[in-house]
Amino acid sequence: MEISTRELKIMPTSSKLTFNDVVGTWKARWGINRMNYTVEPGLYSVGKPNRNSPVLVSANYKMSFDSLRKELDGVEAWILVLDTKGINVWCAAGKGTFGTQELLNRIAVVQLEKVVSHSTVIVPQLGAPGISAHVVAKFSGFKVVYGPVRARDLKEFIQLGMKATREMRTVKFTTYDRLVLTPVELVGTFKVSLMIFGVLFLLNLLGLGPFGLVDFYGYMGSVLVGCVLTPVLLPLIPGRAFAWKGWMLGFIWAIIVNVLNGWNEWTAVPQYSILKALGYILILPSVAAFLAMNFTGASTFTSFSGVLKEMRKAVPAIIISLVLGIILLLVNSFI
Amino acid sequence: MTNRYLKDVATLKLKSDQCTGCGRCLEVCPHNVFLIEDRKSVIADKDRCMECGACVKNCPFNALEVKPGVGCAFAIIMGWLTGTEPSCDCSGGSGGGGCC
């Protein structure tokens, strides 16, 4: 009987990111080609790893893979890329695609035991919601060691003898972390915004206007408040619920819009009626609140139970406020 | 500045009698929820829990329980609209979520 052996397939990669890699990350941040930004699952080599080199597990979202390998300058290591359908480690772990099954499967497919003589794989800590370390050990013989949350701590982690400090184990959400997430939030509103502008245009044609510049920048301001300003200032805004934080900044914005248009003590020539001014007070903060609430999905610390609790109050309040505001604007048009 | 979310909502439970104090939960928790006291794990700060489920998945002694789910408003809205469980799936492209 002949025993067939499969060839080992090892793909060389580098710790240096090319110009295209940097552009690719930037595009994904703006939502361009973000759902198709993948690398091939399998085993990669960085530097000249040998049988004793560490095995680092990652996802096949290219931004995840790149942010790992760019931290490996001067490190000889293997990277085991799981098939997570192009999703990052943490989100894929939540869905289970970065999971026990796929890790076991990928270890077998690349024949990891023939590549390294040790039996340890370093899994990013944020992969833990999908992986049962003790189950992986039971079925593959490979011991899962959870690495640091951030790839940039990997070198230190390895130097410390695969020990992570409490600092390395904790997820943060710095101003920069929040800022890089805002473009994709903005891009996500484009379609709906265009639809709203279309409806306002039709209302103008029907003589139910005029809706004009103030409505445009009032709305766009609310979008910026909900998608950019609230996320960036997040921990500085009083309160805990995201919708509340967005509503507060949106309320300030609505006041600014009204003051700029003559609802103040100094110029005292209101450019529009009290109905429209009240309409803005009802609509603009609601838009910002809704968009800010959606940022819970991008944040690193909101729980399902918490978001649900927030939404049970916020969603009805937002809808009522929006409907009342729209009625005021339309009534204003008829007068 | 630290980010803190709603109080008294997390569904995390620790069955102390099943805990051996192995410390796996401290290792995987991204928000420092656990502490070891008297050779057993204790929930030190439940309000920091984001219900990711990492501790439950990695407890070899089934001492932990949480209702895991996505802390994402957009996913919950889509769940309401489609009548399915909220899942972290922004691949529709029109989503407001920036997660995945």
Q: Which CATH class is domain A10-171?
A: alpha beta
- Please give the model's pTM, rounded to 2 decimal places: 0.90
pLDDT at residue A266, rounded to an integer: 82
Q: How confident is the model at residue A264 (pLDDT cuts 50, 70, 90)?
A: confident
The pLDDT tens digits for A273-303 are 999 999 999 999 999 999 999 999 999 999 9
User: Does the pLDDT of residue B95 top 50, yes or no?
Assistant: no
Q: How confident is the model at residue B52 (pLDDT cuts 50, 70, 90)?
A: very high
pLDDT at residue B89, rounded to an integer: 63
What percentage of chain A reaches a pLDDT higher than 90?
A: 86
Chain A residues near residue B57 by CB distance under 8 angstroms = 128-132
Q: What does each C-alpha distance from B57 to A100, B35, B64, B88 come to in angstroms?
A: 10, 18, 9, 18
Residue listed under structure tokens 């089934």 = B62
Chain B residues near residue A307 by CB distance under 8 angstroms = 71-73, 76
Is B35 an 8 Å CB contact of chain A?
no
Q: How confident is the model at residue B56 (pLDDT cuts 50, 70, 90)?
A: very high
Q: What is the mean pLDDT of residues B22-29?
A: 96
Inter-chain contact B96–A189, Cβ cutoff 8 Å? yes
Q: Which of B11, B54, B76 sits opposite A129 (nearest CB)?
A: B54
- Are the beta carbons of A245 and A234 closer than 8 angstroms? yes
Inter-chain contact B30–A300, Cβ cutoff 8 Å? yes
More confident residue, A81 or A335: A81
Q: What is the DSSP string of A94-117?
A: HHTSSSHHHHHHHHHHTTHHHH-S
A333's enclosing H/E stretch is helix A304-334
pLDDT at residue A256, rounded to an integer: 97
All domains of chain B in start order, with CATH? 13-65 (3.30.70.20), 69-100 (no CATH)
User: Does the pLDDT of residue A60 top 60, yes or no?
Assistant: yes
Q: What is the mean pLDDT of residues A134-153?
A: 96
Chain A residues near residue B94 by CB distance under 8 angstroms = 188, 191-192
Rounded-to-integer distance, Cα A93 and Cα A128, Å? 7
Rounded-to-integer distance, Cα A298 and Cα A205, Å? 39
Inter-chain contact B98–A240, Cβ cutoff 8 Å? no
Is B97 an 8 Å CB contact of chain A?
yes
ipTM: 0.88
User: Does the pLDDT of residue A111 top 70, yes or no?
Assistant: yes
Chain A / chain B CB contacts < 8 angstroms:
170
Q: How far is B90 from chain A (nearest CA, A)?
A: 9
Handedness of CA B19, B23, B29, B33 (dihedral sign): positive
Within A206-303, residue ranges assigned H as helices are 213-224, 230-233, 242-260, 274-294
Taking CA atoms, what residue in B is nearest to A290?
B73
The pLDDT tens digits for A85-106 are 999 999 999 989 999 999 999 9
- Phi-psi group of B77: left, alpha or beta (phi > 0 → left; psi -120 to 50 → alpha; rest → beta): alpha
Q: What is the mean pLDDT of residues A234-242?
A: 96
* Angle CA A147–A150–A151, to nearest 5: 75
Q: What is the mean pLDDT of residues A119-135?
A: 97
Q: Which of residues 314-333 of A touch B (CB under 8 A)?
A: 315
pLDDT at residue A232, rounded to an integer: 97
Q: Terminus-to-terminus CA distance in chain A, angstroms?
A: 93
Domain boundaries, chain A: 10-171, 176-334
Per-residue three-class SS string for A140-177: HCCEEEEECCCHHHHHHHHHCCCCCCHHHHCCCCCHHH
Find residue A80's DSSP bridge partners.
A43, A57
Inter-chain contact B67–A305, Cβ cutoff 8 Å? yes
- Are the beta carbons of A136 and A104 closer than 8 angstroms? yes
Is A133 an 8 Å CB contact of chain B?
yes
Rounded to 5 degrees, φ, ψ at A244 are -60, -45
More confident residue, B45 or B93: B45
Q: What is the DSSP string of B14-58?
A: E-GGG-----HHHHH-TT--EEEETTEEEES-GGG-----HHHHH
- Are the beta carbons of B26 and B34 closer than 8 angstroms? yes
User: Does the pLDDT of residue B93 top 60, yes or no?
Assistant: no
Q: What is the mean pLDDT of residues B79-86?
A: 84
Quickly count: other Cβ atoms within 10 Å of residue A320's Cβ. 12
pLDDT at residue B99, rounded to an integer: 46
Q: How confident is the model at residue A40 (pLDDT cuts 50, 70, 90)?
A: very high
The pLDDT tens digits for A132-142 are 999 999 999 99
A304-334 and B73-82 helices, crossing angle to 10°: 80
- Are the beta carbons of A226 and A288 closer than 8 angstroms? yes
Average pLDDT, whole number, for chain A? 94
Is A131 an 8 Å CB contact of chain B?
yes
User: Does the pLDDT of residue A5 top 80, yes or no?
Assistant: no
pLDDT at residue A308, rounded to an integer: 95
Q: How far is B59 from chain A (nearest CA, A)?
A: 8
Q: Which of residues 55-74 of B touch A (CB under 8 A)?
A: 57-58, 60, 67-74
User: Does the pLDDT of residue B58 top 50, yes or no?
Assistant: yes
Helix (H, G, I), strand (E, B) or coil at B6: coil
Inter-chain contact A169–B88, Cβ cutoff 8 Å? no
